[in-house]
């Protein structure tokens, strides 16, 4: 299996997918994007992947499957078929089944718009503004069966300003996401890591 081959799972605009592909094209991120899977037929990310020349770009309709586990099994089959070592979630809006997470242990990567473990879940940015924190940011983490609960690979911090709204803070966080995600993937395939308890230990 190619240790640099990745599958990217997407649902929407594909902003993180776009920066990953641009970083790859520029020679800054040495991953091999073999497969892009979307659960949304109209996801802009699909066209981004096609224009970038990703070898396999696939839309799977969840309604064609009996339940979440069967849909995830179909996704897993595609990932295995194309020998992808890593599964990168980039704006993928479905909660993964236990089957899928167990099938790819310590191989699924996600980015979340908060400094985990604070503000897990879908309203992370809004929750940070409401709570009144002075710092927020983004977290790249492994995916396990706990929502936004996997071991932390990398984090980046942004200030929360007094006049911030959810949208203004999210825009600032996304700028950091677009730097942190490709950089973390590069480190992951070039340097590697081990896990001690919950702690990610990067190889020296």
Question: How many Å is the Cα radius of gyration of the chain?
Answer: 16
Secondary structure (3-state) at 37: strand
The H-or-E segment that residue 98 falls in is helix 98-103
- Give the active site residue among 112, 141, 170, 178: 112
Q: What are phi and psi of 136, to 5 degrees?
A: -140, -160
**What whole-number distance in Å separates Cα of residue 48 and Cα of residue 12?**
11
- Pick left, alpha or beta for residue 190 (phi over 0 → left; psi -120 to 50 → alpha; otherwise beta): alpha
**What whole-number distance in Å separates Cα of residue 187 and Cα of residue 29?**
9
82 is a catalytic site residue: no
The residues carrying an active-site annotation are: 112
């Amino acid at each position: 299996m190619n240790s640099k081959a990745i599958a990217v799972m997407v649902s929407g605009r594909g902003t993180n997918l776009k920066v990953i592909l641009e970083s790859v094209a520029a020679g800054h991120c040495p991953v091999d994007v073999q497969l892009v899977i979307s659960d949304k037929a109209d996801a802009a990310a699909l066209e981004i992947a096609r224009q970038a020349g990703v070898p396999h770009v696939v839309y799977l309709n969840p309604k064609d499957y009996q339940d979440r586990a069967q849909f995830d099994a179909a996704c897993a089959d595609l990932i295995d078929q194309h020998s992808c070592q890593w599964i990168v979630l980039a704006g993928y809006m479905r909660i993964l089944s236990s089957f899928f997470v167990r099938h790819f242990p310590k191989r699924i990567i996600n980015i979340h718009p908060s400094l985990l473990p604070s503000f897990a879940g879908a309203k992370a940015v809004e929750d940070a503004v409401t709570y009144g924190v002075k710092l927020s940011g983004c977290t790249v983490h492994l995916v396990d069966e706990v929502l936004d609960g996997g071991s932390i690979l990398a984090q980046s911090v942004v200030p929360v300003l007094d006049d911030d709204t959810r949208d203004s803070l999210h825009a600032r966080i996304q700028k950091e996401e677009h730097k942190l995600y490709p950089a973390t993937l590069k480190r992951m395939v070039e340097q590697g890591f081990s896990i001690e308890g919950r702690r990610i230990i990067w190889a020296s």
